[in-house]
Structure 1
Amino acid sequence: MTSLPQETDVVISGAGPVGLTLANLLGQSAIGVVVLEKNKRPFDIPRAITLDDEGCRTIQATGLHKKFLPSTIPGKGARYYGEDGSPFAEVGPGPIEFGFPRRTHFFQPKLDQILANGLKRFQQANVFYNCKLIDFSEIDNGVEIEVCTPGNKSHSLFCKYLIGTDGAKSDIRQKLNIKMIGETYPEDWVIVDTSNDPDHEPVSKFYCRRDRPYVSIPAPNKGRRYEYRIQPEEEAQKLLEFQNIRERLSSTRTINPEDIVRSTVYTFEAKIAEKWRVGKILLAGDAAHLTPPFAGQGLNSGLRDAHNLAWKLAIILKGEASEKLLDTYELERREPAKAMIELAMAMGDIVMPKKEQDIEFRNKLVEWLDRFPAARDYIVSMKFKPSPHYKKGAFVDLHHQQFSGSLVGQMLPQLAVKQLNSPEQQLDNFLGNDFALIIQDKHLIENATKVSKSFFYKTQIKTIFIGQPPFKSSDYVTNLVPIADSLLKKLRAHRDQIILIRPDRYVAASFSGENQKGALAKFKEILNTRGK
């Protein structure tokens, strides 16, 4: 059994999906990682239940998606029911843009187990349960940490960076005196996770009732989650008694005590930390932002934090970028996290309007939208969900010299591709977990090769040519043939440019062969590596 070291590169406090994902991503970059979890063992009850396409793509980046996906259920959309119990709107699964369905339902203990076991791939990355972070203090070159280990023994641990992924009640955030800004919903909700459910339809169902709104969400292994609002006159704990759960679900299913996997009372919060970083200590996931569940974005926002932060920590620790790059973490992630909180609150207003006039407005809106299917689908399909697009941060000329259709600042679509005479695969399988270049014009091959060799790394970064093969793939350039689909059109907007892809799959820059030196100089300036 591995013992807790005295020194490592990064300590992550909290072994939930966000912390474990961050640890796996850092492990792939040969960064030393210690994950501390105060609980004696991994959680064996479900908490988060839905990943979106971006979240699944982050799991893909850990290299563990093939172990994870067989245990999941691809979501087939959502259905909304009115006061009379009849559906007033339905949403299909939607197009696949980033390689995965827009909704994937999963069992969180399974994901936690896969991520924790994934760390065994790396000699320098480990998770330690029953180890609680007691105190910490930042010094010149890192953070000194005091850990309470099994048997109430004290252990001193030094790291270069400390990351708090320790949840909504984050000890690290509280010790840093960082306030959470936002609101707590006045009503609590009961959450009941069930097994042996007769409803196997992989559709999320929203019952927008005046008296008791509730939600029904598919889960793996013939399971389902039910969430319903507690009325002001009701006692929360009494609603967790079996006879009350049975009564509440009687219109939906017959339930036995052994069918209840978990039942709990949950308070929904919409809050964001006033700051996410103090020196060498950073917050991610629920420690940094709390999202109501109505849009299924809480964990997904945390996974975006992990992917954004991992590559920045990795190149800083390898000496390939300045610590100043960490300023772009909150700069990039804060507004999207806030936007997802606002999206969830907007969806909550549809499902559970609080005031009588809001209920009447919702009902009239539904009736009106029924006459305008395009407008109805726009709302219920959450097409107003912010696209994965950063408006500021580690990008070149994000607000200057960009053309309509530019992907700079946006997440790269994940095309279906294949090598000559090989099976179809996803693009990310070839990009790897480092920076990469994409070109679509064979005349740019020489320029791209020079860029890949003159990048700030000691080793050459990958170059991907997407197009019909002018040559065989080499050690320098991988030739991929695109499978014809609509996603290729987005990429074709850069057909005469070199595209620089960040490790988190965002487009950092695009430039012509003539402008490559200037673009690279600007990006190196962003990383603060000029002169290295």
Structure 2
Amino acid sequence: MHNNKKSLPDTTDVLIIGTGPVGASLAALLGRYGVQTLVVDKIHDILLMPRAIALDNEALRILQLAGLAEDAFDKIVIPEVRMHCPMVGQFGRANTSGSLDGHPKLVTFYQPDLERSMRAQYQRFDNVTSLGGLELEDLRQGNDGVTATLRAEDGSRHQVRARYLVGADGASSKVRGLIGQDFEGQSYTEDWLIVDACQREGKAIDHVEFLCDHRRPTPHMPAPGGRERWEFMLRAGETREQMEHADKIGTLLERWIAPSELHIERKAVYRFHARCCKRFQQGRVFLIGDAAHITPPFVGQGLVAGLRDAANLAWKLSWVLQGRASPGILDSYDEERRPHAQQMIDLAKFMGRLIMPRNVLLAALGHGLMRIIGLIPPARRHFEELEIKPKNVFRHGLFVRRTRRCGVLRGGLLPQGLVRTDDGRILPSDDVLGDGLTLVGLGVDPGAGLPANLKHHWEQAGGRYLQVGLHGQRSKGSSPFVEDLGQSLMGAAAAGSLLVVRPDRIVMHDGPAENAARLVNDCLQLLSK
């Protein structure tokens, strides 16, 4: 899986420790941005064990950003999530049908398939080297870089000098320990048995269900390749050995599968955690994914949060390393990502309390109350249409804050839709935005109002231009032009507006076309802070 035909370099721009899906996604993004990257892991092969299983539309959009085609790995689109209590019946539902920003709201997947696709993606780039059989032993930071000591499988030690180091090495992160960023938060006292069954083609459910029985809560969902997953909470006194025994698993699953038809692919007992670091950065060392935060699985946001980390950090590292921005912008990674990661952890903890009532009284009261609340249309819509999910919108960070709330949401994601290019191709709008900072004109040529010297500075900072017109319109300027086929972009702000969009698709600034020079100057100042 790793390209061990390459030798271990002495120096690199970015050293990534860990090649799980988050580390691999960061490597693919840095590969696209042209950054010299070394990604190492102590193992060679992809782990075949129960781990992440759900992705939302934001995660799929980030995978698109990293270069994965829509059919790069198998997915099952989930139309709804049901919550059922044996005493009160179905008391909650989430509508996950349809799409947002060009992707399904919720899918399940098989993690090894995703990892294989992402590794193949970053191995396309000559500027990315991936090596297995190397474990981080130590790191030392200096004014201009990080020296990492890596131990190979034969016991030999090697030093690599990197400008920046990223820990993507999971919940037991060595990087986190070496920089002294201990987790804050809790471990649930309950252990869970995770069972993945296979050969379930045509028999598995087509949705996700939470069986919220206080005696043994059980999330249950399908996965690609004829797979189906159950998660059973252990009762007091039950041990790992008892629960992982084939006879016990057969008894637990007999309401769904006859013992003679049961084919277990994987089984494991886990303890879920809700933890987050105080900071995701120390000097030239960064933490992403489970190395920085661990989210209980009850809202399917663990891997999604890690992918958000990768998208946020990748372009900032690239811009600094390529001299397009000051190192000061790297502080915005923690400033932007940590609050939202904590919000997702809090939501997962809330959902966990719904799923895991401590006794029959709490179950009856809590689930009964949720069913009553569901009779109130605004409250039902808040839950069913996923409005309860915290939006990925920053309060502080690398964008120009607005004094009054109106117009497009700065610090939030630009919507994505389908556009048609001048040569007739129909593409997702993110594919047209490309890998740069983009000055987008809604119905106007974004570069027309910029003096030549300012255009030069903008382009030196990785800036580019895109004019968006209505369906059926044609270009009247010199900037690249697309038709907005579904009003996804044109509806983001008034016609005649300009938007500055970061490579991670966050809106950095906006304003009327006559203020083009001020918008660009403001963004250039942010990059140089």
Superposition TM-score, scaled by structure 1 size: 0.93
**Secondary structure of residue in 1 paired with 2:67:** coil
Identity level (%): 30
Check conservation: 2:191, 2:234, Cα contact below 8 A: yes
2:484 is aligned with what amino acid? Answer: P
1:430-509 matches, cutoff 5 A: 430-442=432-444, 444=446, 446-447=448-449, 453-455=456-458, 457=460, 461-468=464-471, 470-472=473-475, 477-484=479-486, 487-488=488-489, 490-491=491-492, 493-509=493-509
2:311 is aligned with what amino acid? Answer: H
1:1-20 matches, cutoff 5 A: 1-20=5-24
- Deviations 1:198-250 (Å, cap 9, x if unpaired)? 54333111111121110111100111110111111212321011110110011
**Secondary structure of residue in 2 paired with 1:365:** helix
Match of 1:134 in 2: 137
- Deviations 1:480-506 (Å, cap 9, x if unpaired)? 222236x45741x24221101000011
Using the TM superposition, give the Cα deviation of residue 45 of structure 1 relative to its aligned residue in structure 2, in angstroms: 2.9
- Deviations 1:355-401 (Å, cap 9, x if unpaired)? 555323213213413533542342244321111211110001x132x
**Secondary structure of residue in 2 paired with 1:343:** helix
Hey, what's the Cα distance between the residues in 2 that align with 1:428 and 1:186? 43
1:349-364 matches, cutoff 5 A: 349-364=353-368
Say whether residues 1:42 and 2:52 are aligned partners. Answer: no
1:178-193 matches, cutoff 5 A: 178-193=181-196
**Secondary structure of residue in 1 paired with 2:250:** helix
Match of 1:112 in 2: 115
Using the TM superposition, give the Cα deviation of residue 470 of structure 1 relative to its aligned residue in structure 2, in angstroms: 5.0
Say whether residues 1:511 and 2:511 are aligned partners. Answer: yes
1:436 is aligned with what amino acid? Answer: T
Hey, what's the Cα distance between the residues in 1 that align with 2:224 and 2:285? 36
Check conservation: 1:46, 1:109, Cα contact below 8 A: no
Match of 1:289 in 2: 293
Equivalent of residue 430 in structure 2, options 428, 431, 434: 428
Check conservation: 1:106, 1:219, Cα contact below 8 A: yes
Hey, what's the Cα distance between the residues in 2 that align with 1:281 and 1:442? 42
Question: In the superposition, relative to structure 1, how do residues 45 and 257 fare at CA in structure 2: closer, same or farther (>3 Å)?
Answer: farther
RMSD: 2.2
Equivalent of residue 416 in structure 2, options 414, 417, 422: 414
Hey, what's the Cα distance between the residues in 2 that align with 1:273 and 1:376? 34
Q: Choose 436-445 or 112-121, whichever is displaced more.
A: 436-445
Question: In the superposition, relative to structure 1, how do residues 490 and 266 fare at CA in structure 2: closer, same or farther (>3 Å)?
Answer: farther
Hey, what's the Cα distance between the residues in 1 that align with 2:257 and 2:476? 57
1:20 is aligned with what amino acid? Answer: A
1:33 is aligned with what amino acid? Answer: T
Say whether residues 1:312 and 2:309 are aligned partners. Answer: no
Hey, what's the Cα distance between the residues in 2 that align with 1:301 and 1:494? 32
2:168 is aligned with what amino acid? Answer: T
Using the TM superposition, give the Cα deviation of residue 525 of structure 1 relative to its aligned residue in structure 2, in angstroms: 2.1
Equivalent of residue 178 in structure 2, options 175, 179, 196: 175
Equivalent of residue 406 in structure 2, options 404, 407, 432: 404
**Secondary structure of residue in 2 paired with 1:56:** helix
Question: In the superposition, relative to structure 1, how do residues 285 and 98 fare at CA in structure 2: closer, same or farther (>3 Å)?
Answer: same
Check conservation: 1:436, 1:464, Cα contact below 8 A: no
Check conservation: 1:34, 1:127, Cα contact below 8 A: yes
Say whether residues 1:244 and 2:248 are aligned partners. Answer: yes
Check conservation: 1:12, 1:33, Cα contact below 8 A: yes
Please list every run of 5 or more consecutive structure 2 residues that lacks an aligned counterpart in the other structure: none
1:220-369 matches, cutoff 5 A: 220-255=224-259, 259-369=263-373
Check conservation: 2:214, 2:359, Cα contact below 8 A: no
Hey, what's the Cα distance between the residues in 2 that align with 1:355 and 1:179? 33
**Secondary structure of residue in 1 paired with 2:258:** coil
Hey, what's the Cα distance between the residues in 2 that align with 1:431 and 1:338? 30
Check conservation: 2:13, 2:164, Cα contact below 8 A: yes
1:86-125 matches, cutoff 5 A: 86-125=89-128
Match of 2:219 in 1: 215
Hey, what's the Cα distance between the residues in 2 that align with 1:404 and 1:523? 19
**Secondary structure of residue in 1 paired with 2:320:** helix
Match of 2:35 in 1: 31
Match of 1:526 in 2: 526
Question: In the superposition, relative to structure 1, how do residues 360 and 468 fare at CA in structure 2: closer, same or farther (>3 Å)?
Answer: closer
Hey, what's the Cα distance between the residues in 1 that align with 2:364 and 2:275? 28
Hey, what's the Cα distance between the residues in 1 that align with 2:35 and 2:42? 23
Using the TM superposition, give the Cα deviation of residue 472 of structure 1 relative to its aligned residue in structure 2, in angstroms: 4.7
Check conservation: 1:452, 1:461, Cα contact below 8 A: no
**Secondary structure of residue in 2 paired with 1:156:** strand
Question: In the superposition, relative to structure 1, how do residues 456 and 181 fare at CA in structure 2: closer, same or farther (>3 Å)?
Answer: farther
Check conservation: 2:250, 2:262, Cα contact below 8 A: no
Hey, what's the Cα distance between the residues in 2 that align with 1:157 and 1:196? 45
Using the TM superposition, give the Cα deviation of residue 452 of structure 1 relative to its aligned residue in structure 2, in angstroms: 5.2
What number of residue pairs does the alignment pair up?
523
Using the TM superposition, give the Cα deviation of residue 251 of structure 1 relative to its aligned residue in structure 2, in angstroms: 0.9
Check conservation: 2:94, 2:386, Cα contact below 8 A: no
Check conservation: 1:46, 1:107, Cα contact below 8 A: no
**Secondary structure of residue in 2 paired with 1:65:** coil
Hey, what's the Cα distance between the residues in 2 that align with 1:490 and 1:345? 35
**Secondary structure of residue in 2 paired with 1:192:** strand
Question: In the superposition, relative to structure 1, how do residues 525 and 279 fare at CA in structure 2: closer, same or farther (>3 Å)?
Answer: same
Match of 2:148 in 1: 145
Question: In the superposition, relative to structure 1, how do residues 309 and 488 fare at CA in structure 2: closer, same or farther (>3 Å)?
Answer: closer
Hey, what's the Cα distance between the residues in 1 that align with 2:162 and 2:107? 35
Hey, what's the Cα distance between the residues in 1 that align with 2:277 and 2:469? 42
Check conservation: 1:13, 1:133, Cα contact below 8 A: yes
Hey, what's the Cα distance between the residues in 2 that align with 1:431 and 1:284? 25
Question: In the superposition, relative to structure 1, how do residues 417 and 250 fare at CA in structure 2: closer, same or farther (>3 Å)?
Answer: same
Hey, what's the Cα distance between the residues in 1 that align with 2:7 and 2:476? 44
Check conservation: 1:82, 1:207, Cα contact below 8 A: yes
2:280 is aligned with what amino acid? Answer: W
Hey, what's the Cα distance between the residues in 2 that align with 1:356 and 1:405? 48
Superposition TM-score, scaled by structure 2 size: 0.93
Say whether residues 1:157 and 2:160 are aligned partners. Answer: yes
Using the TM superposition, give the Cα deviation of residue 153 of structure 1 relative to its aligned residue in structure 2, in angstroms: 1.7
Please list every run of 5 or more consecutive structure 1 residues that lacks an aligned counterpart in the other structure: none
Q: Choose 364-373 or 175-184, whichever is displaced more.
A: 364-373
Hey, what's the Cα distance between the residues in 2 that align with 1:236 and 1:140? 48
Question: In the superposition, relative to structure 1, how do residues 42 and 332 fare at CA in structure 2: closer, same or farther (>3 Å)?
Answer: same
Check conservation: 1:405, 1:490, Cα contact below 8 A: no
Question: In the superposition, relative to structure 1, how do residues 457 and 264 fare at CA in structure 2: closer, same or farther (>3 Å)?
Answer: same
- Deviations 1:435-486 (Å, cap 9, x if unpaired)? 1122122365512696654415266513232324654598x5232222236x
Hey, what's the Cα distance between the residues in 1 that align with 2:72 and 2:254? 33
